[in-house]
Structures are given as structure tokens and as C-alpha cells.
Amino acid sequence: MKNAYPSSPVVRTVSRRCLALVSGLLIGLLPSLGSAVEIRFEKVTEGVYVHVGDLGGRTKENEALNANIGLVVTPAGAILIDSGATYLGARDIDQAARRVSNKPIRWVINTGGQDHRWLGNGYFQAQGAELIAHSSAVPDMRARAGDQLQALQNLLGPRFEGTRPVYPDRLLTAADTGLELGGVRVELRHRGGGHTPGDVLVWLPERDVVFTGDIVYTERLLAVLPVSRTRPWLEAFGVVEAINPRWLVPGHGRPTDLATARRHTRDYLQALRAHMKKAVDDMQEISAAIRSFDVRPFPSLHNAAELHPGNASRVYLEIEME
């Protein structure tokens, strides 16, 4: 601050106490002018990293990035697993990746159609990265992009600047697809969706790591959306169980083990489906079915109180249609 206005007599004569006060006020304003959330990749195993997002919902403070972002470094370049929620957020992700490795990001894999999985695509496309997703993701992205963009713009204001929908340009159609970059094998597994129609698992067999996207939530309650389908969601979880990885990186929550993933995701989905199936078969009214579900095994999960009623109602309606 001392050199900001070197020729100003006001600055030259201001007391040290006032100068310290002004400096402190300006420093307090800095987060609003730049990124409010720190993107930091933590090592999972050799060449594999994750930024762990907030466990709560999207906020101005976390810049709508409450999801995990993966990074895989290979001799031929880096693979980013999900691109974040905004253009500026994607730039911050790129800068964080460069603090881990000087390898450019060659591929961006979108694991689903939620905003924080793909709305940073425009930044990485401009840097020359190839955008990869399952073909089922794109119709979902197109259908919900307008609502996602509007919600983020209302939430983030200036930090939303530059964000626009940029869809993946390499679309996969098979249930299982193997890719390779720099000698690192990447296997993508799709089982008809789950949380969103385009949900894919990213399995790195040589590293014994699976990035599950929103097929697995830990530490916080999962969210059943209007586009979610819990039957294929559980089928996809079965693929995670068959892989039985040493390191499991969920879409939300810290890297974990299979036992924790079962308790926090599979057990909740199975219990909810079984309860709602019986309620539908018994022609129980939906509000009574929601009230009678025993949520006691799951209240320790973040966001359980606000998310469970909506989850329960959507599963009831889904089973009615099956």
C-alpha cells in the first residue's frame, strides 16, 4: 500500500495507524475480487490426484464447486476428470493442476450432466483439450443447461463471467470403453446412468483407482434428481463392487474404501427402493410412504434433512413407473 500513490500528500501524511486500517480493509475485500475457493489437488497414488469439494451445497463462497475433480498425470499429458462449474473456476482448476505437474491437460472426461461436471468445458477446449463423455450425457446437458446457467449466474454474479455450454466432442456409445494416454489405461463404464443419464465410472486398472462421479457419495447424502434412475444407479454401483478398487474417489466426499461407499450410497438406495416398492404395492399414499421410511441409519450424512424428502418422493414416483 505504501507505493500505491507515491506522489499523494494525503498518503505521505497519513498516520501509520490509519494506513494499517485501510490496508486491512482492502485485504478483506480481495476474496470478492478473485477466486473465493482454493482449488488444491491432493495425491491419491502415483500420478493420480483429487480436489475434494465442499460437502455442503453450491454457495457463492465455494463458487458452486462442491464436487470432486480428478487429475491423472501421464507422460503424454494430463487427464482431467470433470471441468468444474464455470469458466473462471476451470481456469483455477487448470492453475492448480499446473502446481502438480507441467503436463498440459489433454483430455477432459465429463462423468455426468451436473453443472460442476461440465460447465468449465469451454475453458479447456480453448486450451486445446479434447472433451470426452458418454453419448447419453449430451441430451441431458442440453436439456438442463439453461436452468443450470441461470441458477449459477444468479448465485455467482461476476464469477460466472465467460461461462457457456460447451458440449463434449468425443462421445462414447459402448457400455465399456478402453482408452489410453501416455501408456496409462483408462476404462470408462456406463450402465444406463444413475444420478444423471450420462454417469460414467473412470477406472485406472494399473493405478487401482476408480473415480465414480456421482455414482458414489460419501459423508453427505446423495441427491435423487428428476433425471435420476435408481435401478441403473445400483447396477453401476455393482460395477464398483466388481472392480473392488484399492482407492475409491467418490463424486462427493473424501477418497474412501468400498465398505464406506456401501454404507453411504448403496445401502441408502437399496433401503429407499425396497421401502417405496412395498409402499407402491400396498397402494400407500406418497406422503405416508415418505414419513414411514426409517432414516435413522443415515442422519449423520451432511444434507440428509433437506435432501431425503425429495429423494423419497422421486423414488416412489420412479417405482410407480417401473
pLDDT along the chain (322 residues), means of 10: 36 35 34 66 98 94 96 98 98 98 98 98 98 98 98 97 97 98 98 97 98 98 98 98 98 97 98 98 97 93 95 98 95
Nearest to 128 by CA among 103, 152, 164: 103
- The residues of the chain that CATH labels 3.60.15.10 are 34-321
pTM of the predicted structure, to 2 decimals: 0.88
pLDDT at 37: 83
The Cα–Cα gap between 90 and 148 comes to 16
Judge residue 269's burial from the number of C-beta atoms within 10 Å of its C-beta, 0-12 exposed, 13-18 middle, 19 or more buried.
buried
Q: What are phi and psi of 62, to 5 degrees?
A: -95, 5
The Cα–Cα gap between 72 and 48 comes to 5
The Cα–Cα gap between 153 and 163 comes to 9
Own/partner long-range contacts of 33-40 (Cβ < 8 Å, ≥24 apart): 35/63, 35/88, 35/89, 35/92, 35/159, 36/60, 36/61, 36/62, 36/63, 36/159, 37/61, 37/62, 37/63, 37/65, 37/89, 37/92, 39/65, 39/69, 39/89, 39/92, 39/93, 39/95, 39/96, 40/96
pLDDT at 89: 97
The Cα–Cα gap between 177 and 190 comes to 9
Nearest to 277 by CA among 233, 236, 318, 310: 318
pLDDT at 192: 95
- Quote the longest CA-to-CA distance of the chain: 83
Correct CATH for 34-321 of 1.10.3720.10, 3.40.50.720, 3.60.15.10, 3.40.1160.10:
3.60.15.10
pLDDT at 308: 97
